Structure 1
Amino acid sequence: MSLDENRPDLEARLRAIGAERYHDKHPFHDKLHSGGCTPDQVRAWVINRYYYQSRIPMKDAAFLARCEDPAMRRAWRSRIEDHDGGVEEGGGLRRWLKLAEAVGLDPDYVASTDGVLPATKFAVDAYVHYVRDKPFLQAVASSLTELFAPGIHARRIEGLLEHYDFANPVSMSYFQHRLKEAPKDVAFGLAWVLEHADTAEKEDMACAALTFKTDVLWAQLDALWAAYVEPGRIPPGAWRPGDGLA
């Protein structure tokens, strides 16, 4: 049965998931944005977050590889361009490596993804597989954490500039660009989900997909907290303070 008359209800459900489960509520972000992180805790975050950033264009490429609609491909491919940039310059990954350099890390070490926490790899790889393998509705809906991203980016820019010497327009450029890129992406993704989740079952599928994605983000921060904050148990093979410095 069509649920066109209930479109606002689905958007409200999606936004409620973010209000309850988005990773802006994780204590690591409170610690980071308030200036409470040590230099090594900031470095650990930069190293592990890069793994997530580096897999986003791979996730989107896997999505496009099975997308038969040219209009959908045209709308979606800018996500890859936003992260990878052009051949010579630009792109979110290069901007993230500027942040790595600013916090004292060797950008080549960060780009190698050596030292990434095992739990980070498991969570992020699960997201790539999810988008590659699940029906389109769930693949698109899982991207809707971008509904909530501009808020955390704005708070991050303000907090890092206030509390950390490494923060400047160059090192913060990744977040500044995402303030413009994420709303563009999510406007398309949200409209697509609201149009295609036209049964109660599909609405539930979309909500489950967004919940899954919030779990992916939260799991990364749980792993970071356990390894570098409390109890501070760094697993074998993960980055240790002093490694990979510029």
Structure 2
Amino acid sequence: MAAPRPTLTRAELAGALHAQASRYWDKHPFHVRLHAGGCTPGEIRSWVANRWYYQRHLSAKNAAIVSACPLPAVRLRWLDRIAFQDDGGLDDWLALAAAVGLTAGEVLDERHVLRGTRFAVDAYVSFCRTRPWLEGAAAALTELFSPKHMTDRVHAWRTHYDWIEPAGMAYFDNRIPVVEQDSSFTLDLVLTHAVTREQQEAAIAALAYKCDVLNAILDAVDYAGTAR
């Protein structure tokens, strides 16, 4: 019988989590084209409308993590994520939608949301509802990679797509400093509570899974754009 593998040190686990950056959606061909100025207005509108479906489900997945977590201090801190979305974040996303030429009605009725987006987002919410809370928290660690990506997005949009109303960037301007704080908290949380090799590997797998979810959304948007 093989001996169990030793647990990773905090530094080793942190390194393994950071290494998932290679799977993050900033490398997806759609995002590469988007940041290079190669997307049409219709493709940008499709991205915003489909990303809305993800945005509006964040509070549900965060509530699932809160409900499963036995630690009061963590629950209280995690509730801030729900507050951000429900107390301005979703409104800021609708402002972005307006800035790219979408009406609130067509975003809210989700007529532009693609099947692939629905499957990916619904699966992510189900994951957070059915897996241990620590895995749900680990999946959120895509926030380790998102501040720079969002900063690059704002710069790219202002450079290449001057037809987008500047006021539409409020979501990103408000979210970047928040996600920087959230990522530090969540990383420490996972490093502290993933104490067995099984938990550590599950945390790494959860983050890899979340990267796959995000890329699946872009797969759907990219395919829909090229199929027209």
Normalised TM-score (structure 2): 0.94
Give, in whole Å, the separation in 1 of the partners of 2:153 and 2:199: 34
Alignment of 1:156-235 (within 5 A): 156-229=153-226, 232=227
The runs of at least 4 consecutive aligned structure 1 residues that moved more than 3 Å come to: 1-5, 166-169
Give, in whole Å, the separation in 2 of the partners of 1:178 and 1:34: 22
Q: The residue matched to 1:172 in structure 2 has which SS?
A: helix
1:83 alignment partner AA:
Q
Give, in whole Å, the separation in 1 of the partners of 2:15 and 2:58: 26
Alignment of 1:1-246 (within 5 A): 6-18=9-21, 20-85=22-87, 91-229=88-226, 232=227
Q: The residue matched to 2:9 in structure 1 has which SS?
A: helix
Shift of 1:81: 0.9
Q: Is the 8 A contact 2:99 2:166 kept in 1?
A: no
Q: The residue matched to 1:170 in structure 2 has which SS?
A: helix
Give, in whole Å, the separation in 1 of the partners of 2:135 and 2:8: 21
1:240 aligned partner: none
Give, in whole Å, the separation in 1 of the partners of 2:178 and 2:165: 20
Moved more, 67-76 or 162-171: 162-171
Aligned length: 225
Q: The residue matched to 1:173 in structure 2 has which SS?
A: helix
2:31 alignment partner AA:
H
Q: The residue matched to 1:113 in structure 2 has which SS?
A: coil
Q: Is the 8 A contact 1:2 1:199 kept in 2?
A: no
Give, in whole Å, the separation in 1 of the partners of 2:103 and 2:8: 54
Shift of 1:168: 4.5
Over aligned residue pairs, what C-alpha RMSD do you find? 1.7
Give, in whole Å, the separation in 2 of the partners of 1:99 and 1:27: 22
2:173 alignment partner AA:
Q
Give, in whole Å, the separation in 2 of the partners of 1:208 and 1:115: 31
Distance 1:31 1:5, change over 3 A: closer
**Unmatched runs of 5 consecutive residues or more in structure 2:** none
Shift of 1:68: 3.4
Shift of 1:5: 7.2
1:43 alignment partner AA:
R
1:242 aligned partner: none
Q: Is the 8 A contact 2:141 2:207 kept in 1?
A: yes
Q: The residue matched to 1:167 in structure 2 has which SS?
A: coil
1:139 alignment partner AA:
G
1:88 aligned partner: none
- For residues 180-238 of structure 1, the C-alpha deviation after alignment (integer angstroms, 9 at most, x for no partner) is 11111111111110011112221111110001000000011011111112xx15xxxxx
Shift of 1:112: 2.1
Shift of 1:4: 7.5
Query: Higher helix proportion, which one?
Result: 2
Normalised TM-score (structure 1): 0.87
